Amino acid sequence: MSSFQIFRGTNFQYYFRFKASNGEQILSSESYITKQSCQDGIASVKAHAPYDNNYRRIDKPSDYRFNLVAKNNEIIARSSEGYTTSYNRDKAIEVVKKEAPTAPVYDLT
């Protein structure tokens, strides 16, 4: 089952990641000063994930990435890795679209 994980970095700030059911990390967040802000970021991902127009696809040779953006075009989360093909990147986006809205959140802090 896909899930979000909240964790603290070595800088003591909060982050979230979204992992697919196969364990692959698909999304990474920016840093947040408070846990509540991090939780709000996850809520924003859940709200925006189902809609294709919220994804910004980035195409560079052998490095296909994406960002998930809010309606104001502010980046909510970024792909955790570069994909070797646009097809693999688009498959990752489909996982986020389908599974992020209902994925559980695990607090690892």
b/e string for 57-73 if b means 16 or more Cβ within 10 A? eeeeeeebbbbbbeeee
Long-range contacts from 50-55, C-beta under 8 angstroms, 24+ separation = 50/97, 50/101, 51/97, 52/93, 52/97, 55/93
What pLDDT is stored for residue 61 in this prediction? Answer: 83
Exposed, middle or buried by CB within 10 Å (0-12, 13-18, 19+), for 6? buried
Number of domains, the chain? 1
Query: 61-92: per-residue pLDDT in tens?
Result: 889 999 999 999 999 999 998 999 999 999 99
Select the more confidently predicted residue: 60 or 45. 45
**Do 51 and 98 touch, CB atoms closer than 8 A?**
no
Expressed as residue numbers, the domain containing 41 is 3-107
Tokens read off for 80: 């955790």
Question: Residue 26: which CATH number?
Answer: 2.30.29.80
* Helical ranges in 1-109 per DSSP H: 35-48, 86-99
Radius of gyration, CA atoms only, the chain: 13
pTM across the whole model: 0.93
